[in-house]
Amino acid sequence: MADSSNDQPLLVAEGLAKSYGHLQACREVSFKLYPGEVLAIVGESGSGKSTLLQLLSAQLSPSAGKVSYRMRDGVLRDLNVLGEAERRFLFRTDWGYVHQDPAMGLRMAVSAGANVGERLMAIGWNNYGEIRDAASSWLQRVEIALQRIDDAPKTYSGGMRQRLQIARNLVTAPRLVFMDEPTGGLDVSVQARLLDLMRGLVGELGLSAVVVTHDLAVARLLSHRVMVMKDGRVIETGLTDQVLDDPREPYTQLLVSSILPA
């Protein structure tokens, strides 16, 4: 990653918290994400990492604190005060969201080409030939054979669906992508191919990304920086290799040793 220390942060979390009655799913989380940086949020089930991802992507409103995003005009905006139309616009243009279950991020009954093309139509593309060409190009980039462009994702394997979901998200050249357990539920060999693909695309496109995972191999391969969560709190953070090779906190040491369950 290029040195981004002098860049303005793209995403800023300040004192972020989410409570459900007496349950505190997320507590006092603060950090900055810079352009071109990939942050992995790791921890066992129930640690609060998925709640944090939903807060960061404005799918949940915080009980306390705020999340701000730097718009293309350079202005840092509090996501909680954006209108619904503004948030939808962000998801069509600046943001991508890769779900663990690709069925949540795809329209399963329409063709693969239409799944990719819809994102382009949402930002104003209206030439069918250009849309199909762009969809074809992206299917090739995610290693889906062009003869499958008119097939519906329901006929695809799990790995192909996930690759299609990635193409659908990246076709509009977003600046920030959220990934929720992107390799979860896939066979190990399929996971390896998908991780190689994602790493290549993230580097090539200079994307910023926030990746939630319980798999430390995913964090090591994709991220520049890691945040370790436990009981809704960030208990350790730092450069990925530093945290995973020389963890400071006992909980992180257990995670790295694979003693704690995923």
At 157-170, the pLDDT tens digits run: 999 999 999 999 99
Q: CB neighbours (10 Å) of residue 35?
A: 18
CATH classification code of 11-256: 3.40.50.300
Quick one: pLDDT band at residue 5, thresholds 50, 70, 90?
very low
- Which amino acid makes up residue 256? V
Q: What is the pLDDT of residues 92-119, one digit of tens each?
A: 889 999 999 999 999 999 999 999 999 9
CB 171 within 8 A of CB 116: yes
Structure tokens at 65: 């604190």
Quick one: pLDDT band at residue 4, thresholds 50, 70, 90?
very low
Phi, psi of 127 (to 5 degrees): -95, 115
Half-sphere CA count of 253, side-chain side, radius 13 A: 4
Helix (H) or strand (E) holding 13: strand 11-20
Query: Environment class of residue 168 by beta-carbon count within 10 Å: exposed (0-12), middle (13-18) or buried (19+)?
Result: buried
Measured CA distances, 1 to 94, 197, 223 (Å): 20, 17, 10
Helices 128-141 and 112-122: crossing angle in degrees, nearest 10, is 120
Whole-prediction pTM: 0.92
Per domain, the residue ranges of the chain are: 11-256
Quick one: pLDDT band at residue 1, thresholds 50, 70, 90?
very low
Ranges 35-44, 60-69, 251-260: which has the least confidence: 251-260
